[in-house]
Amino acid sequence: MNSPSDVGAIRPDGRRERGERTRTAILEAAARLASVEGLEGLSIGGLAEHLGISKSGLYAHFKSKEELQLATILTAEAIYERDVIVPAMEASPGVARLLALTDAFFDYVRSGVFPGGCFFIANSLDPATARRGRVKDLLARLQRETLEGLGEWVREAQELDGIASGRDPRHVAFEIDSLMTGADRNFVLFNDPASLEDGRRAIYRLLSAVA
Amino acid sequence: MNSPSDVGAIRPDGRRERGERTRTAILEAAARLASVEGLEGLSIGGLAEHLGISKSGLYAHFKSKEELQLATILTAEAIYERDVIVPAMEASPGVARLLALTDAFFDYVRSGVFPGGCFFIANSLDPATARRGRVKDLLARLQRETLEGLGEWVREAQELDGIASGRDPRHVAFEIDSLMTGADRNFVLFNDPASLEDGRRAIYRLLSAVA
């Protein structure tokens, strides 16, 4: 998501590369912070204080709070891809991929990579943030893509493994996503990993329903 | 939840009664505001401005932001009881009650009584608020009570109507709650009532599974 400019790529002194590394480190801290404080709580000043760097240093990377929020969401998305989507892609298509996705999702929530549970569930339901303009539009687009991708994997599992035969794969995808959402919500509220097992168990059950 | 003091009850000039009415009106506005702005956004000053009354007038009712937040949650709970629980209680025990609950829940979300979708889903996942002290504890307690009550109704439906036979009623309750949560989340993100129909359809399907 950060496309280094040609100018940066040919600079011999590594300055551009170091700048990208700094930007990435800032955004990863911002994503962790936003899963606890909310995206709305992400101000340039607040993040600078949290990181122990100057406000002007941060302004060199992000021109506005909105730009910082959007970049933070894309950073969280990259972490989600790495921790949840890639392990699923490495499994065989069909039910095996959906089970790998389920396991990877609950491991990702439990791992604490985001201290406030799943970044996207927390922030898409954050009343203070998620209603507004480009931030909300980006969160909505990512959720649509998640549901569509999941629907595609369900369709493959129907074809290859005969689960949920005759059902609209989008409906099954909605149910899987909801069980992840509900389990994450309870996990955060109750601070109890048993809530994640509730979600995992329910999705496994859903995926074992062979017509 | 507001226990009028004896002193107030015997006052002949109605002052105490008017005070209670004012308090209720303030809290209902606060609950609507919190479903959009988040409980963390509920400051005494901000709410006073929103209502067009003086800050000192509000301080007469609430001594602190936390007290205002807790009272707001209990007001939202009373609205939830009125709009969701009472219609379900009026239906016969068993599957009929669970279906009435489902219909009432999605009507309540769609009605816009809280502009940000279900108050409790929004605020229990609000990263800025829901992690903290007494506010979080109250939200967690209400969610536990919701899941326990729902589990009890599922158990009745198992006995009376033979649905989901042999399953742990708490697991079925978790699934119903998750489908409501996921549908509410998508409804708010996509601003599309079709998301609520996804939830209703999935819960009806779950409740039609006779062993």
ipTM for the whole complex: 0.88
**Which positions in chain B touch A186 (Cβ < 8 Å)?**
143, 147, 174
Q: What are chain A's domains?
A: 6-207 (1.10.357.10)
pLDDT of residue B2: 40
Taking the C-alpha atoms of residue B19 and residue A195, their distance in angstroms, rounded to an integer, is 42
Residue pLDDT, tens place only, A138-195:
999 999 999 999 999 999 999 999 998 889 999 999 999 999 999 999 999 999 999 9
Which residues, 6+ apart, have CB-to-CB distance to B152 below 8 Å?
B169
Could you say which of A40, A186, A198 has the minimum Cβ distance to residue B128? A40
For residue B207, what is the enclosing H or E element?
helix B194-207
The region of weakest confidence among A32-36, A129-133, B84-88, B200-204 is A129-133
**Residue A10 pLDDT grade (very low, low, confident, very high; cuts 50, 70, 90):** very low
A124–B182 CB contact, under 8 Å:
no
- Which own/partner contact pairs does B50-58 have at CB distance under 8 Å and 24+ positions apart? B51/B26, B58/B26
pLDDT of residue B83: 97
Token readout for A15 is 């300055």
* Structural contact between residues A119 and A31, judged by C-beta atoms closer than 8 angstroms: yes
Chain B, nearest residue to A135 by Cα: B189
Phi, psi of B210 (to 5 degrees): -90, 130
Shortest alpha-carbon distance between residue B35 and chain A (Å):
6
pLDDT of residue A24: 87
pLDDT of residue B8: 38
B residues 68-127 closer than 8 Å to A (CB): 116, 121-127
pLDDT of residue A9: 43
DSSP class of B210: B
Estimate the crossing angle of helix B169-190 against helix B95-111, to 10 degrees: 20
Could you say which of B123, B127, B143 has the minimum Cβ distance to residue A123? B127
Residue pLDDT, tens place only, A65-98:
889 999 999 999 999 999 999 999 999 999 999 9
Task: Please report, in tens digits, the pLDDT of each residue of chain B (211 residues total).
Answer: 344 333 334 455 566 666 777 888 899 989 988 887 788 778 888 888 888 888 888 888 888 888 999 999 999 999 999 999 999 999 999 999 999 999 999 999 999 888 888 999 988 877 665 457 899 999 999 999 999 999 999 999 999 999 988 899 999 999 999 999 999 999 999 999 999 999 999 999 999 976 4
Give the residue from A126, A136, A141, A196 with the most B CB atoms within 10 Å of its CB, the best one to mutate: A126
B186–A126 CB contact, under 8 Å:
no
Given CB atoms, is A189 within the 8 Å cutoff of chain B? yes
pTM assigned to the model: 0.88
Burial of B90 (0-12, 13-18, 19+ CB in 10 A): exposed
A189–B126 CB contact, under 8 Å:
no
**Residue A114 pLDDT grade (very low, low, confident, very high; cuts 50, 70, 90):** confident
**Which positions in chain A touch B131 (Cβ < 8 Å)?**
36, 116, 188
A47: pLDDT strictly greater than 50: yes
pLDDT of residue B203: 97
Scan for tokens 């939200």, then name that residue. B139
pLDDT of residue B118: 92
**Residue A16 pLDDT grade (very low, low, confident, very high; cuts 50, 70, 90):** low
Q: Bigger pLDDT: A175 or A56?
A: A175
Shortest alpha-carbon distance between residue B183 and chain A (Å):
7
